[in-house]
Structure 1
Amino acid sequence: MAVLELLAERAPAARFEELLRDARREGASDTSRAELDQAVRLAARVQALISHAQQREAGLAALVDTAHDLTLVHGMDALLHEITRRARRLLNFDMAYIGLRHTSADAGFSSIRAAEGETTSRSVGLETSEDSGLGSLVQRTGAPAWSPDYLADKEIPHSPDIDSVVRAEGLHAILAVPLGHGTTVFGTLYGADRKVRHLTPDEISLMRSLGKLAGVAIERVRLLEETRAEVTELELDTSRARSSLSVQRRVEAAYIRLIDLVLDGCDPQTLAEAAAKELSGALVVRDCVGRTVVVTGTPPVLVEDDVLRWTYDAHAAGCPVPMSESGGWVAPVTAGGENLGAILLVPDEPLTDGFGVRLLQLTARAVALILLLQRTSTVAHDQIRDELLEELLSDIRSQPRQLITRARRLGIAIDEPHVMVVARPEGGSEGRAAAWASSYAHRVSGLTRFRDGCVTLLVPGEDPLRAATAVSRELTPLVGHPVTIGAAGPVSGPGRVARAHREALSCLEALTELGNLGCVATPQQMGFLGVLLSETHDVGDYIESVIGPVLDYDAQRFTELIRTLEAYFASSSSPTRAASDLHVHPNTVSRRLDRLTELLGEDWQGPERALEIQLALRLHRTRRTLQHRHGSTGPTRGSGGSAPSESSS
């Protein structure tokens, strides 16, 4: 009963020892002392059980407090530090730290994110491989792992990095438990002592419970941070949407004001001034040929070549493009794919939002509407111009007089000398080249077509080489690549346009075959090489280009100039011997040579021209012979048959 009383009073162990001493001093019997000893031992066991239960109760209470406190922490870094602090105090560790696995990009590694009780700076930030240390066992099994003396434990997979930190911190006993959510383990919670310590199952279980609570808290904070990030992004999206809506409303209001001006019948100057006021800057309106139509404000001086390049870029892109140096913008003015011009804007301040660029694009549409209203007839003329050139280049044509009349209505004197230019850019934007061709044709009162990457131009002039050089000078820097050009002419009247086009194409093909990309050539330069190297081998056009005037003269007047040419060259350019071979007087040959000079030009007896003429004569004679062999009975132009002499004509 005395033992029970002491046990009920939660007396210390010394009181029980004192009770045993009193019994021995009072001379109790051996049986009584033995029974008292057994009772004291049982009481000690009961006290140990009560103490263990109290410790578990205290641990669980501390665990509940920890769970409550972890719910109050919201930041990830603060939460990790709170977990390590609680782990250290819960089991009286010298040090506690947390390692978290990296993202999938660095899978297979963990890093120490937080520590409590460390004495060096080597622990936090340490990169650990998941195939060494206690953490590797925890990650692989999902269960706690521990060692009473880590460095001396040979069953643990060691690594030099981890061992050096453990040695620097002076750690011995280490306990590691998993951090996770559900079946996913994303980290490890460590507790360590700087002395050898054998952990009890209750301590390990308590640390395991803390790890589970910490894993849930970490996952909660992670989800909370993701939610906050999503909310922040949604707020930004909402703000951007509101800003965009505000800009759209401003653009709509400004555009309505501009359209109202157009509907009221304003001119381009009034519209440009209103647009410049909305855009706050200097504004220039240019037409399709590059002429300035309207200027508002004081725009800076710009290099014309740069302006042309930006304009063609804007037309090729179909939207405003920035000017590289001045901070301005160029917007294309188009309608149905037709180039009506461009707008140049140099704002007072850089356009930083969508308002200025969008309003500039809409202003270009309003300008296009005014230009369309003013140039309805011109738009129809452009379509007629395209149809006219297609008809001139085709084999089926209307009466020449009708074509000449139609061309004059468009301001094109097709019955006056024109040259044909076919240009092929060897790279760059086709849209830029097409836009330039349309503008150039309007500028020089010519006709144009863009097809299969080639620009075809029929422009006024008598020198094809000069016209081709002018085209190369403008188009090459514009596209930023070499431009190969073939040119022919001059021709007067619609009947010879198609032939000039074929000759220009032959020159272009000859340059390609010779590998002279980026060069310019005309039939006068290429000569018979254009016939030999072209894909079509158009011998008839070559003969016509070299001795065509002589053939026509013989056919119309029944003369023998072709025969005289052949005899002249056969006699080594001797008029006397040629007269003897022709059985005519030498004066007759002299008059015929004067006539040939009128038809072929002053330089027809030069080495190069003479070679060309002799080749054309040989080709003409061969064609004539083949025609006779095939039974041709029709008249042959320049056949050299019986006819009145040149003297009689």
Structure 2
Amino acid sequence: MRRRPGARREPGAWVTMSENWLDLLLRDASPDELVRHGDHRALAGDGANEAVEAERETAAALRLHALLQQRAQRANELAALNDIAGRLAALQAPDDLLPEVVEQARRLLGADLAYLGLVEDEGLRIKVTSGALTPELLDVSIPLSKGLAGTVIAQGAPMWTSDYRSARTFRHDDSADVAAAAENMRGLLGVPLRLRGRVLGALFAAKRQERHFAEHEVTLLSSLAAHASVAIDNARSLARLTAANDQLARSTATLEQTLRWDQRLTRVVLRGGGVEDLLAEVDSMVEDTVLFVAHGTDLPRELVPVEDAVAETLAAPPDEPALLTLPDRYVLCRRVAAGDHDFGTLVLTGPDAPGDDDARLLGRAVPALAIALVGERAAAEATRRTRDSFLIDLVTTRGGDTHARSQRMRLAGLDPRVSYTVMVVQPTGAVTDARRAVERLASPKGTVVAEHGARLIVVLPTSRPEELRGQWAGARGAPAAGTAGISGPARGTAALARSFAEAQQTLDALAALERQGEAATADQLGLYRILLSHTGRRQLDDMYEQLLGPLRAEQERRGVPLLETVRVFLNEGRRPTAAADRLGIHINTLYQRLGTVDRTLGAHWRDPLHALDLQMLFRLRDSSESLEP
């Protein structure tokens, strides 16, 4: 992290490079020290990458420092609560007890004002205050049917409002409102004082600004109120204090253990560890086996014997932990996801039932593992795109330095010494989905797939392109991948470029012939191979003009669709009735048009051989026009 503009470095203010991030965090270094350490690391590096890495490490250290401070604050609050409980238990006189309660409530919550009231007759009378600016609040009596105090007493539960003046969740009391206005109370939290199932009164903490109270603040004030109630009745005080201390000890132990886990996992991520490193770290913290099962992959050998039992859970892992009890083992599963992407399942398996610590550890490991998987996925995507660009450049450009093109061929994952077949695929759906479908096919080792616009380029290490047509038709998932043009074999960069161009042309011809879902080489197109070259299409145009040019001229002169009439007549097997129905004209109109065709072309055009020639000419002509740019 670079030094902030205008920041001054005091003499001796640098932390030494002998200290690492962990040392600084363990000795509770200040954020400024952490920033200076990051500055030093950035300046000590010899390039932009080191500076970026130092900045990333500094940001992570600052986040961890904030987390440590937050945990320390919680521990301080819990420790203070314990201390207050002891002091309250030692107090015997009510006159000493109640002021101590409200003073500690104000201090713990950082409130401007704290006060305590006890139930007397039909109202709550304010007995003591701490932080009051006026005497208006002291000795005020609030009806139990009104005010926030009345709601707390009636429900026996905590309640708070961010702005007492504008709150509409309870009925306001005039005397309480006058006192609140005098003290300028805004944010107000109240908790009940309970004893033997009865509510003795309520304890309040207030701010003179609008304030939203967090859950832990509600819990903290409630705990203090509980201790205050217990202190009123010494017998019950001892029992409840013991229970509270036990719970606090367990909570503190849990927090400390969770923090240690987070520190260990964070260290793995900070030093650049991947998925396997994180799994090894988690595995070292438990006695059982920890596994990660990615979606669509085979089960690890440890889970193969129980595949049927866990398959459904692994296929759709729940958001909450799932515990499977099997005859010889337990399997605890946690979903690993980031955003909308579901990576798979983190699994803990062993002969003994996992404890609460195991479940918590698995929960702490899931976010770190998701971060590592996101990083690996991003790296893999960058690698894939780079390789795609090398392959596309290789097959779409010709010429250039032979050595350089051979090097690009290797970078694209191809061997210049191997013969390849090129397949260009037009998917029926999204090109990314089609790519996954093609990659799942049983292709030879060394096959390379790349996205090229809305199409796929598949380069396979085989010298028999004609065999791919049968394999494509019989391959599971191939129809979903779409139509494919095939060309080869090709060895070397120039041959690959030629094969790619021919595969593109073959695919275009298949599309023009409406043969979707097929795969074919140029030779497998048969007569339609004439469509693949400009020369063949020009010859086709010449033949069309020679045989049907006079009829087209007659059509333009008369304004009657004679060419379409001939096309439909031939396609309907030279059956006049069927042709008239298809054209939507009267049979006599058809005969009149056919008579014009006879006079223009000669009657021999109806002979079977001549009719077949014309029918093929129409078909080829239509396909040729659809291939024109």
**Which TM-score band (shorter chain)?**
0.3 to 0.5
TM-score (ref. length: structure 1): 0.32
- Over alpha carbons, which structure has the higher Rg? 1
